[in-house]
Amino acid sequence: MEKLNIAQLKGKIVSEPEMTETPNGKKLLKFRLMYYTPQTTDKDGSHANFIEVLLWEKLAEKYVRYLSKDLEILIAGTFYQSRWEDQNGKKASQFRFSCETLAITDIHFSTDEARLSAA
């Protein structure tokens, strides 16, 4: 089966982005994104959804200094489900979004085009 799992999300960053390294040395920038869907997500009628977003290697290095909590962005990438067992042996899982492209869409974000294109 071919891989056809491409999505775009527009939303607001709701946690401070955190740069880390994987055990094998890959740079990883992660944060939580809130985005809206037409479907309600709870009994109060909210349309908000939350997902952990991951930027890898060069993309992480490029955007680490520009991304912050409350910034509105547009991302494209793929959804995947991470599965593991907790310390009690109980199976757990979480959907995540692996970002392949990113655009800052927040009208309050001031840019210096030379710095962004050089990054």
Domain boundaries, the chain: 7-118
Is residue 32 within 8 A of residue 50, CB to CB? The reply is: yes
**28-44 pLDDT per residue, tens:** 999 999 999 999 988 89
C-alpha distances (whole Å) from 17 to each of 4, 20, 45, 61, 99 are 28, 10, 28, 12, 13
pLDDT band at 21 (very low <50, low <70, confident <90, very high): very high
Fold designation for 7-118: OB fold (Dihydrolipoamide Acetyltransferase, E2P) (2.40.50)
pTM here is 0.83
Beta carbons of 69 and 11 less than 8 angstroms apart: no
Nearest one of 36, 109, 24, 25 to 68, comparing CA atoms: 109
